[in-house]
Protein backbone atom coordinates (compact mmCIF):
# COMPACT_ATOMS: atom_id res chain seq x y z
CA UNK A 1 0.00 0.00 0.00
CA UNK A 2 1.33 3.42 -0.86
CA UNK A 3 1.20 6.39 1.46
CA UNK A 4 -1.98 8.22 2.41
CA UNK A 5 -2.00 11.97 1.77
CA UNK A 6 -3.20 14.35 4.47
CA UNK A 7 -4.34 17.94 4.14
CA UNK A 8 -6.10 20.42 6.39
CA UNK A 9 -6.69 24.07 6.99
CA UNK A 10 -5.99 25.80 10.31
CA UNK A 11 -9.37 24.86 11.79
CA UNK A 12 -8.77 21.13 11.31
CA UNK A 13 -5.06 21.18 12.17
CA UNK A 14 -5.58 19.53 15.61
CA UNK A 15 -7.69 16.80 14.00
CA UNK A 16 -4.98 16.17 11.40
CA UNK A 17 -2.41 15.82 14.18
CA UNK A 18 -4.66 13.20 15.80
CA UNK A 19 -4.98 11.31 12.48
CA UNK A 20 -1.19 11.42 11.98
CA UNK A 21 -0.64 9.89 15.42
CA UNK A 22 -3.20 7.17 14.68
CA UNK A 23 -1.55 6.32 11.34
CA UNK A 24 1.88 6.21 12.98
CA UNK A 25 0.59 3.84 15.68
CA UNK A 26 -0.79 1.54 12.97
CA UNK A 27 2.42 1.70 10.94
CA UNK A 28 0.69 3.36 7.99
CA UNK A 29 2.83 5.66 5.86
CA UNK A 30 1.48 9.14 5.12
CA UNK A 31 2.52 12.36 3.44
CA UNK A 32 1.42 15.66 4.98
CA UNK A 33 0.53 18.32 2.39
CA UNK A 34 -0.11 21.00 5.01
CA UNK A 35 -1.01 23.21 6.72
CA UNK A 36 1.67 22.86 9.35
CA UNK A 37 0.39 25.35 11.96
CA UNK A 38 -2.86 26.69 13.37
CA UNK A 39 -2.22 30.07 11.70
CA UNK A 40 -5.16 31.18 9.57
CA UNK A 41 -4.94 29.88 6.00
CA UNK A 42 -7.02 29.02 2.95
CA UNK A 43 -8.19 25.40 2.82
CA UNK A 44 -8.06 25.42 -1.00
CA UNK A 45 -4.27 25.79 -1.02
CA UNK A 46 -3.82 22.48 0.77
CA UNK A 47 -6.72 20.71 -0.92
CA UNK A 48 -5.15 21.38 -4.31
CA UNK A 49 -1.75 20.14 -3.08
CA UNK A 50 -3.31 16.88 -1.88
CA UNK A 51 -5.26 16.38 -5.13
CA UNK A 52 -2.13 17.02 -7.18
CA UNK A 53 -0.24 14.49 -5.06
CA UNK A 54 -2.90 11.89 -5.84
CA UNK A 55 -2.90 12.77 -9.55
CA UNK A 56 0.90 12.47 -9.68
CA UNK A 57 0.81 9.11 -7.83
CA UNK A 58 2.76 10.43 -4.85
CA UNK A 59 0.00 8.97 -2.67
CA UNK A 60 -2.77 6.50 -3.42
CA UNK A 61 -5.57 8.27 -1.55
CA UNK A 62 -6.06 11.12 0.86
CA UNK A 63 -7.77 12.40 3.96
CA UNK A 64 -8.74 16.06 3.79
CA UNK A 65 -10.08 18.15 6.65
CA UNK A 66 -11.29 21.69 7.16
CA UNK A 67 -13.55 23.49 9.61
CA UNK A 68 -16.76 22.12 8.10
CA UNK A 69 -15.40 19.51 5.69
CA UNK A 70 -17.35 21.09 2.86
CA UNK A 71 -14.89 23.64 1.49
CA UNK A 72 -11.95 21.31 1.13
CA UNK A 73 -14.24 18.67 -0.40
CA UNK A 74 -15.37 21.12 -3.08
CA UNK A 75 -11.72 21.93 -3.81
CA UNK A 76 -10.81 18.25 -4.17
CA UNK A 77 -13.80 17.64 -6.43
CA UNK A 78 -12.34 20.10 -8.98
CA UNK A 79 -9.70 17.45 -9.72
CA UNK A 80 -9.99 14.12 -11.49
Quick: pLDDT tens for 59-78: 999 999 999 989 999 999 99
pLDDT confidence bin for 80, thresholds 50/70/90? confident
First to last CA, the chain: 21
Domain ranges of the chain: 7-76
What pTM, to 2 d.p., does this model score?
0.92
Q: Write the pLDDT tens digit of every residue in 5-33.
A: 999 999 999 999 999 999 999 999 999 99
For 7-76, which CATH class? alpha beta
62, 53 contact by CB (below 8 A): yes
**Predicted pLDDT of residue 1:** 61
Amino acid sequence: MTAIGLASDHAAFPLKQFVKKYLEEKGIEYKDYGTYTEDSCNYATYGHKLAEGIEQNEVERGIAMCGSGEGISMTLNKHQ
